Amino acid sequence: MPHDVALIALIAAGFVFAAIFGYLADRLHLPPLVGYLVAGVMIGSSTPGFVADTALASQLAEIGVILLMFGVGLHFSAADLLAVRGVAIPGAIGQIAIAALLGIGLTSLWGWSIGAGLVFGLSLAVASTVVLLKALEERNLVSSANGRVAVGWLIVEDLAMVLALVLLPAFAGVLGGNADAGAHASTGPIGLTIGITLIKVAAFAAVAIFIGPKIVPWLLTSVARTGSRELFTLSVLAIALGIAFGAAEIFGVSFALGAFFAGLIMSESHLSHRAAADSLPLQNAFSVLFFVSVGMLFDPSVLVREPLMVLGVLALIILGKSLIAFCVVLLLRYPASMGFAVAAGLAQIGEFSFILAGLGVSLGLLPREGQDLILACAILSITVNPLVFLGSERLEKLVFSRWPVRMAGHGAAKHDRLCRDLAVISLQREERDRQHHLEIEQLIDTFPMFADLDDNAQEELLLLFRPRSASPGDRVIRTGDRGDSMYFIASGAVEVQLEDDEIPLGAGAFFGEMAVLTGARRTADVVAVDFCQFLVLERRDFNLFMSRHPSLRAAVSSMAQERQEMNVSRQRRDQSLDAG
């Protein structure tokens, strides 16, 4: 072809092969993600035929991780994270430390150095957020207490890995690697490096928690008021990708963590549900490319070359990590059901493992063989993770049937307290949403003409309205004023004062439409005769909204025409009476 189409070829081949093998996996009663992984192997460099660009694939996969984590943040809140901190923070830190020690112990049997074992252990300690979320979504557990604990656990793991990525170059020389590993080398004292990293992460968290909720919802509302669906979707993606990229470049945190906080910020807006719905198709599409890119990195020959090493690493990931997580949850005095759920969710490795392994190789700490093992076991652990969940559920039933009293009593108090805290948070979120829906319902009840609009249009109209009030005797409109807005009476009553007549209007009526429709000056005074609450639609907003809803404009124009004809006929009648 006359120009480079590597990106188009990758996307086309990735989606086509993923669709084919995903369907075949489903027909074989396997999770579709197994088919996506196989699709990646088929277009990777380890198999004959078409070979896609691995570098491009990894970047597209990163977009998938960003969008998926953004979606998680939309359904979470800072209060959710604070509610699960008692189990997520000590649990994640304890599990990482023990898993890293097990990794060092396993690699010492192979004759590797302490540095190689540390990198290897850390790579095995952190699970894939993408895989966990897919598993929780399939079981409707994302909003459950156990699901929220598992997600919070992985957020803490991600924060710990951000710190590990900064500290590894600083300690590379001490651990037996290259002390001056190019771009990864750290300058300055180690203590200063750690301090700067912690300050950056704290600064990012402060900006995200205290400043973001004041700016992002306002920005989203302003865009929604334009009524443009494509502009709203574009703004949602711009916020997600912009915050993720800015967080990585300015504060040094991962794209995934930045995207999660972007969603967390946007969740404070009542438009978060609409943002989630608009971004969902892209989340699904790019998450597929994530699994395809993982498959592309897999070299099946490692299964033949080092089968025992693969089995050992896989056992550490699936059995070792699961047992560690389960025991940590129990030691923290939380129920066994939570331990089973967290253990199954963490029995795999993913995106951060690849990043750590790549950094370890570049620093001379981890041998290339270690990276191959990590990639191979990531593929295998992701593939069998649905079976791990199934086995965990059956084991949970067996344990609870064998020791019902002991299992039911262990950690019940903490679990009940956690469920109450999460329930309060959920009720607060539901109350916020209920109030918003109630506003829309009240709008429709008061002004039935808006009932035929779809949900998005009704929400947009609610955003366009400007509230205004008036007391009895206030002159709301004066004759000769410029017609810059139309008034809808939410409560109270007004009087339209014509030359020879006075027309009362109550709640549910509107006025000021003629000047807005024609551009002429006001032809009557309008005076409040009661305490009034108005919803005011400015002329520019009126024209934009009505241009997208011509049937509503026609209805308003028809009512305005009828009102004008009534006024004219009334004037003629009055004139004839005066003449008589």
pLDDT in tens, 330-387: 888 888 888 898 999 889 887 778 778 878 888 888 888 888 888 888 888 888 888 8
In a domain, 204, yes or no: yes
Tokens of 277: 């719905």
pLDDT in tens, 393-409: 888 888 888 888 777 77
pLDDT in tens, 430-450: 777 677 676 777 778 777 777
Lowest average pLDDT, out of 166-180, 414-428, 459-473, goes to 166-180
Where in the sequence is the domain holding 489, given as residue range(s)?
465-579
Mean pLDDT score, 507-515: 83
Residues 30 and 169 in one domain: no
In a domain, 440, yes or no: no
pLDDT in tens, 110-165: 989 888 899 999 999 888 877 888 788 888 887 788 888 888 888 888 778 877 87
Residues 353 and 266 in one domain: yes
Residues 165 and 314 in one domain: yes
Provide the pLDDT for residue 568: 61
Distance CA 492, CA 533 (A): 7
Name the CA dihedral angle for 461, 465, 469, 473, rounded to a multiple of 10 degrees. Answer: -90
In a domain, 372, yes or no: yes
> What long-range pairs does 463-467 form, CB within 8 A, spacing at least 24?
463/221, 463/224, 463/225, 464/225, 464/227, 464/537, 464/538, 464/541, 464/545, 465/535, 465/536, 465/537, 466/535, 466/536, 466/537, 466/538, 467/533, 467/534, 467/535, 467/536
Residues 404 and 483 in one domain: no
Residues 36 and 117 in one domain: no
Provide the pLDDT for residue 20: 93
In a domain, 478, yes or no: yes
Mean pLDDT score, 97-106: 90
In a domain, 67, yes or no: yes
| pLDDT for residue 182 is more than 50 | no
Provide the pLDDT for residue 311: 92
Provide the pLDDT for residue 578: 54
Q: How far apart are the first and last CA of the chain?
A: 90
Report percent pLDDT > 90 for the chain: 5
Assign residue 345 the CATH number of its domain: 1.20.1530.20
Residues 548 and 405 in one domain: no
Assign residue 490 the CATH number of its domain: 2.60.120.10
Mean pLDDT score, 458-465: 80
Residues 62 and 10 in one domain: no
The SS3 of residue 488 is: strand
In a domain, 432, yes or no: no
Question: Across the chain, what does the average pLDDT equal?
Answer: 81
Residues 66 and 27 in one domain: no
| pLDDT for residue 38 is more than 70 | yes
Residues 505 and 536 in one domain: yes
Residues 185 and 325 in one domain: yes
Residue where a domain terminates, one of 405, 423, 441: 423
| pLDDT for residue 548 is more than 50 | yes
Provide the pLDDT for residue 185: 47
Alpha-carbon distance values, 9 to 5, 36, 282, 559 (Å): 6, 17, 18, 57
In a domain, 441, yes or no: no
Residues 200 and 217 in one domain: yes
Tokens of 487: 């008034």
In a domain, 428, yes or no: no
Provide the pLDDT for residue 316: 92
Other CB atoms within 10 A of residue 63 CB: 22
Residue where a domain terminates, one of 423, 451, 483: 423
Q: What is the 3-state secondary structure (H, E, C) of 195-233?
A: HHHHHHHHHHHHHHHHHHHHHHHHHHHHHHCCCCHHHHH
Number of domains in the chain: 3
The set of residues, in sequence order, having a beta carbon less than 8 Å from that of 492 and lying 6+ positions away, is: 470, 506, 507, 528, 529, 530, 531, 532, 533
pTM of the entire predicted model: 0.68
Lowest average pLDDT, out of 236-245, 413-422, 433-442, 503-512, goes to 433-442
Residues 100 and 206 in one domain: yes
Mean pLDDT score, 9-15: 87
